[in-house]
Amino acid sequence: MNTVTSSTPVTIKNTSELAAGDIVRTLGMRVRLDSGLSRKLPGLTGRTAYVWTGTVLNLDEVRAGGPVPASFLRTRKYQPGEGWVTDRYDVWEVQGNERTEWFVENPS
C-alpha cells in the first residue's frame, strides 16, 4: 500500500525529537508534521506529552484501503449560519512521549 519503499532512508526519533516538516510513517501513512504542542503531565511520572498535527501526504493510498477509516482523517469547525462543517479531510495527529519512537523519513 505504501509507495515508500523499505530502502527509503529513515531515522528513528522519539516524540520529543520531532520537528515541524518531519515526515513520519505510521499505519501506512506518510504524515508531514505541521504544528505541535506539549504539556507536562501531572503526577509522579513527570513526563511530557506531545501532540503533532500533520497532513497525510499519501491520502489516495490511505483512502483506497488503509487501516485508517476516512472519517478519522477529518476535522470539523463551527461556521456561523452553517453549523458544524468538515474543514479538513487529510489530517492525522502523532502523539506520544519521550518513550514513543517513530520512523522519520530522511530529507533527500
Q: Average pLDDT over the chain, rounded to whole?
A: 90
Q: Are 60 and 89 in contact (CB under 8 A)?
A: no
Q: Are 21 and 33 in contact (CB under 8 A)?
A: yes
Q: Which residues pair with 14 in a beta bridge?
A: 101
Interval 54-83 mean pLDDT: 92
List of E strands, 1-108: 10-14, 23-26, 29-40, 48-56, 75-79, 83-88, 91-96, 101-105
Dihedral pair phi/psi, residue 64, rounded to 5°: -75, -10
Distance, CA of 98 to chain centre? 16
- List pLDDT tens digits, range 26-52: 999 999 999 999 999 887 677 899 999
Domain 10-65+92-105 in CATH 3.20.20.70? The answer is no
pLDDT at 3 over 90: no
Interval 59-70 mean pLDDT: 88
